[in-house]
Amino acid sequence: METGAVLVVDFGAQYAQLIARRVREAHVFSEIVRHDITAAEIAAKNPAGIIFSGGPASVHVEGAPSIDTGVYDLGVPILGICYGAQLLARDLGGEVAQSGRGEYGRTELTVESDSLLFGATQPRMQPVWMSHFDTITIPPTGAVVTASTPDTPSAGFEDRTAGRYGVQFHPEVVHTPHGQEVLEHFLYDGCGLSPSWTMSSIIETQVELIRAQVGTGRAICGLSGGVDSAVAAALVHKAIGSQLTCVFVDTGLMRQGEGEQVVETFQRHQGIELIHVRAGDRFFDRLEGITDPEEKRKAIGELFIRVFEDAKVGLDDARFLVQGTLYPDVIESGTKDAAKIKSHHNVGGLPDDMDFELVEPLRALFKDEVRKVGAELGLPDEIVWRQPFPGPGLGVRIIGEVTRDKVAMLQHADAIVREEVKAAGLEREIWQAFAVLPDIRSVGVMGDERTYGHPIIIRAVTSEDAMTADWARLPYDLLERMSSRIINEVAGINRVAYDITSKPPGTIEWE
């Protein structure tokens, strides 16, 4: 864990990740930890501050999430948010009442007294976002009430001597206009931190760590064409230069023109040693006759590994494998009860008998931070702002059997979708926009002739981290242009539909 970091203790809140992101937006490193972490484990991390997240439970319910009370003796400043504030009150001599009246949504807050969290420049009356049923009626022993609402007499409290602060509202959401200032006052004034965690500092730190880990050894990186592996490769190359070799397995299932773009960027522009394996024939042969989505993923993943193994012949001295693992992957894999939705999108899940030490320079970063690092490293916008793309490629966007003709059809339709979204100036507002080719045909009319062609389904979503997503409200004229172009320009397509399913209940990809 980085020096001067803040721990966000997750009590089951939907907003724990958002709190961590807001702390990072204040240029302070944050790390999410589970609420069952011990005080000794927290002490070992030596944090500069701790934030207790909200949570869905009541502090009065048996089995409600709690914290090792030894954390209060560590002398580390603590900010409690919503449930986290109620926990501070319950554990430290305050009172949390079951009033029978909750507060949800926009609420008017009154700043009652001089306050570190609210500072001198914030308005005395301000809107905040509430989401709670129980109410803090008496703050912790030694704390003074700093803010209230009509239904919450202790909506803000602080004990500056002990370094304990609490707010009943959610400062991390956009609906609390002055919320980021509240967080920054805690970080800068309450914890004594400075805004020093920047993209440049991330790169400098990682370069040192990579050099210390790899030494004079050799590393290889399996490039997928996506932003994560691209930034990971560029960062490792900055650290160890010619000691890195990248292997790009071109499965034939990439988006239109992407294979050539990857080679152009890394071999010519970045000067990275790149082995380009054109393996499309092998993948189409392997996928012949397979229609089950999980079986397709497995077949693509296994063949990718075999091709990767063949490509690394002559690189047997390479002991290190570079992977573009991100922080959400680390958080999700750390959960106790994560249900299996599907095989992971990344095809490079390498078998146990491949004896590598992993180099994962991005595992502490969210996707938007990875893009900023990529831009800082000089990667072109076409790579940095590339939309997330599943490891198995278009194989999971073709429902049913994958054939060359279907891939060519989908590549063309998908290119139109992305071109039109870009032309409309929406490329950076949308998390993903792509085309899907379902395994059905429908009757249509073109000219005076009856047709029996494939439909294309357009999928476009907005999201921050892909854990949840909402369907994008694209303008009608944009949808019309995409539909018209696809039907007119892509042979075999006679109908276009738009998917308006959010995640949950759906997933972003179709398979």
Q: What SS3 state is found at 179? A: helix
Separation of alpha carbons 52 and 72, rounded Å:
12
**Beta-strand (E) ranges in 353-431?**
357-359
Task: Identify the residue whose tokens are 């160890």.
Answer: 240
Separation of alpha carbons 183 and 187, rounded Å:
6
Task: Identify the residue whose tokens are 């004896």.
Answer: 355
Q: How many residues does the chain have?
A: 511
Separation of alpha carbons 337 and 34, rounded Å:
13
| Number of C-beta neighbours around residue 338 at 10 A | 9
**Beta-strand (E) ranges in 313-416?**
318-322, 357-359
Task: Identify the residue whose tokens are 């900010």.
Answer: 79
Separation of alpha carbons 336 and 172, rounded Å:
26
List the beta bridge partners of residue 97.
135
Residue 511 token pair:
């398979």
Contact 493, 487 (CB under 8 A): yes
Contact 84, 66 (CB under 8 A): no
Alpha carbon 436 to its chain centroid, in Å, reads 23
Separation of alpha carbons 410 and 404, rounded Å:
10
Any idea which residues carry the catalytic annotation? Answer: 82, 170, 172
Residue 353 token pair:
């008998």
Give the residue from 104, 85, 54 showing the smallest Cα distance to 155: 85
